[in-house]
Structure 1
């Protein structure tokens, strides 16, 4: 019991630290800045942030959400991303344990966090992130094929099963689907295999409900541009963490 608690604390702290780096990615990738060079700085006064004021969650709370130099407000998105990534790492550990499969899941979930928040703000899904998810999917497929005996071609099935329906939707109704969404699901399909259909269903369902909600509240129209990346990312997350349980429940219920 104590050992599991210590592992959970370690996983959570590690997730929070990686979440702090994800904030750098979310801010810098859309504007073309390197995420590997240069220390963190305040976007308002450009002052460098010392390490003791860059501790995930803790620094934000101690500073009461303001820059320690210019007192400009710090976006609550920063602690949200850190906390979210920590929780996702806990879920990956709870689902897969301290394993290679759990490591793959954690990396994918972190990439999805970056995709979701960039798409929400800028309405784009950068190709660099799609490429990283694709490469991760290929490595995951190779690992499963070599060490777990999973058929290697399932990744190809996932790629096609996810991309073709979305590509048709994009061609028929360009306003409802972007090329980034298609590429994201194609790349994630390599990772998930046939389970990508579950991710696609959940993502489309959540996106549809959100669109209907905006229409019902008169906050949008049929022509409103809605970033679909966050909903697809949520669908992929669900398939990664709860996919086996949901599929087992479905099969036991109807068959």
Structure 2
């Protein structure tokens, strides 16, 4: 990575990336196809400890297939909120086996936090932001502690909140990769077809974007593909990619009362 690599600060033996590093990578890989970019990054190992974060949702197979082709040793992290569709869990197992992913890690909510903050398991019904914070945001923050960089499956076409996604960005000193950020829906569908990738079993039933079971509904004809997420709420993101009430990843027991 040349100049960008030399500028990385080291704190506690971990690289701390800056916006300058992200800008250099965006410039270097502008116009480079996604698979070549991933293979180069994984071979050079200049991003340090890296993992892919996947929801194993309706579009997840494309990124997972690309990463597995580039390097099947790259770990894949899945946050099981304990509210997932059984079909999603089965799809996860199918993709991991089919793509030869060698390190599939599942992280779950802290049981003490659930006992304190969601004893009935119904927080999703009256406080979806708070539910996401304890079931998704905190577990992922915990899983990412040992990483220097992580790979996201976000795409600009998915929602207005995801426009102009760069391939590389920095969050809290970690490099965040969005390899499919500039892909279009047509390109995604073409990749599914060309590589004969399996679809999420709920997609054919009208679930075009799949999250937790209680907060996911079928999408009606003409609706936005994410219209079935948190239907009836003024909410479009779980909080992993956009701010919701703060979570202290160092002490999940101190989550805010919401």
Structure with more strand by fraction:
2
Structure with more helix by fraction:
1
Higher RCO (CA-CA < 8 Å; seq separation 6+): 2
Structure 1-normalised TM-score? Answer: 0.28
**Who wins on radius of gyration, i.e. which is larger?**
1
